[in-house]
Amino acid sequence: MPTEQSSDACAVCPCSHNPPAQRCKFSLSAENLTPAEIHRRLQAAYGENTVNRTTVNRWAIKFRECEPGHDKTMPSADKILLTVFWDSQRVYMTEFLEAGNTVNSARYIETMKNVWQRVCPVRRSTSWIFLLHDNARSHTARATIDALETLKFEFLSHPPYSRDLVPSDFHFSPHLKRDLKGTHFTSDDEVKQAVTLWIKQRTPEFFIDGMCKLILRWEKCIERQGDYAEK
């Protein structure tokens, strides 16, 4: 998920030659206010001449870099890959993958072991679990297939390049993006917290709706002999 970041190499610190709005902003930062609250106060003071929210976020990051004891090598927010495992009733597990990391077969197998440990106690059963995932290399590797079969995962057929038949792509992610649209984050932790809170706020009807849509799309795909894409 995109998060706000700055490519500026130099930290900006409060001094006499800074514009009034910038000096005011740094004073507010010293009160431990959030960037959103700082921006609201600037709007109250300067009206239409106030800088935008993105600029305020960037100032807040740079101001923290000037604070004593701040670790200037701390990476800025980038992109995070969210993997979520859910069915018609709930989310069983989420996993965040920071930028620069990759998912290989070994890592995916460990993830699926954790999923199995979450699902079985909830369902009170160790019977086979139907699994719908895409055709990523880490999912289709021989080692992955063997390990998942040992764990009693039964794979549901999924044609390549068919995002319109993946509930996370046509239902889960669009709602998540819509609800968090316009929100800027200054750290990976803020992103994770926002996503985790959003998931907790979902009602059972949300998950049922997603799976019902999948059934309807499958039926259309079968009727059209595989020549189907939701527009």
Over residues 198-225, mean pLDDT: 91
User: How many other C-beta atoms can be found within 10 angstroms of the C-beta atom of residue 58?
Assistant: 21
HSE (side-chain half, CA atoms, 13 Å) at 212:
7
Q: Is residue 154 part of a domain?
A: yes
Same domain, 18 and 96: no
Q: Which of 30, 54, 76 is the last residue of a domain?
A: 76
Which residues are within 8 A (CB) of 13 and not within 5 positions of it... i.e. 6 or more apart?
26, 62, 63, 66
Give residue 224's pLDDT.
79
Over residues 45-50, mean pLDDT: 76
Contact assessment for residue 35 and residue 56, using Cβ atoms and an 8 Å cutoff = yes
Q: Give me the CATH number covering residue 90.
A: 3.30.420.10
Average pLDDT, the chain: 77
Same domain, 114 and 165: yes
Distance CA 41, CA 52 (A): 12
Same domain, 96 and 42: no
Structural domain including 19 reads: 1-76
User: In this predicted model, what pLDDT tens digit does every residue of 210-222 receive, in sequence order?
Assistant: 999 999 988 888 8
Q: Hey, which of 25-34, 108-117, 121-130 has the most confident mean pLDDT?
A: 108-117
Same domain, 132 and 186: yes
User: In this predicted model, what pLDDT tens digit does every residue of 161-194 receive, in sequence order?
Assistant: 676 788 999 999 999 999 999 888 888 899 999 9
Same domain, 90 and 59: no
User: How many other C-beta atoms can be found within 10 angstroms of the C-beta atom of residue 176?
Assistant: 19
Q: Is residue 118 part of a domain?
A: yes
Read off the tokens for 201: 């706020």
Vertex 22: Cα angle to 11 and 10 (nearest 5): 10
Over residues 58-68, mean pLDDT: 62
Same domain, 9 and 69: yes
Give residue 92's pLDDT.
96
Contact assessment for residue 192 and residue 96, using Cβ atoms and an 8 Å cutoff = yes
Give residue 70's pLDDT.
47
Give residue 60's pLDDT.
67
Q: What pTM was estimated for this model as a whole? A: 0.62
Residue 197's pLDDT band, with cuts at 50, 70 and 90, is: very high
Q: Is residue 231 part of a domain?
A: no
Q: Is residue 230 part of a domain?
A: no
Same domain, 85 and 52: no
Instruction: Report percent pLDDT > 90 for the chain.
Output: 41
Distances from the Cα of 71 to the Cα of 66, 67, 219, angstroms: 10, 9, 55
